[in-house]
Amino acid sequence: VQLQASGGGLVQAGRSLRLACAIRGNFFSVNGMGWYRQAPGKQRELVADSTSGGSTNYADSVKNRFTISRDNAKDTVYLQMNSLKPEDTAVYYCKAQIKRHLFAQVSDYWGQGTLVTVSS
């Protein structure tokens, strides 16, 4: 199982980007999916996550600007980022809680990270 993230890039402050993360490979089920980010010199932090039931949670710093969504038919999670700020600059990682087969435990899988750079 692999998570493939895409959509990062360089953007001016105030503009938008959409990140996508697709799960590739065979698995039994997916629980939570989310996005984290790590800025230079800082620890990785939660940006937003979504449960399999559709509940969402956001970091205070991105509320009302970012939206997480899932397409369960495509095994893909998205992060729509609006009104971007220079402080949003970071490597963004997706994470999924995956059960590989019926009798397996749920494990965390991480994408490779995609760089978002917001210029002022």
Q: Which whole number is the average pLDDT over 84-93?
A: 98
Residues 10-25 have pLDDT tens digits of: 999 999 999 999 999 9
pLDDT of residue 54: 87
Q: Which whole number is the average pLDDT over 90-115?
A: 96
Q: Which residues contact 61 (CB under 8 A, 6 or more apart)?
A: 87
pLDDT band at 8 (very low <50, low <70, confident <90, very high): very high
* DSSP 8-class letter at 87: G
Give the C-alpha separation, 54 to 51, whole Å: 5
Helix (H) or strand (E) holding 118: strand 114-119
Residues 24-70 have pLDDT tens digits of: 999 999 999 999 999 999 999 999 999 988 899 999 999 999 999 99
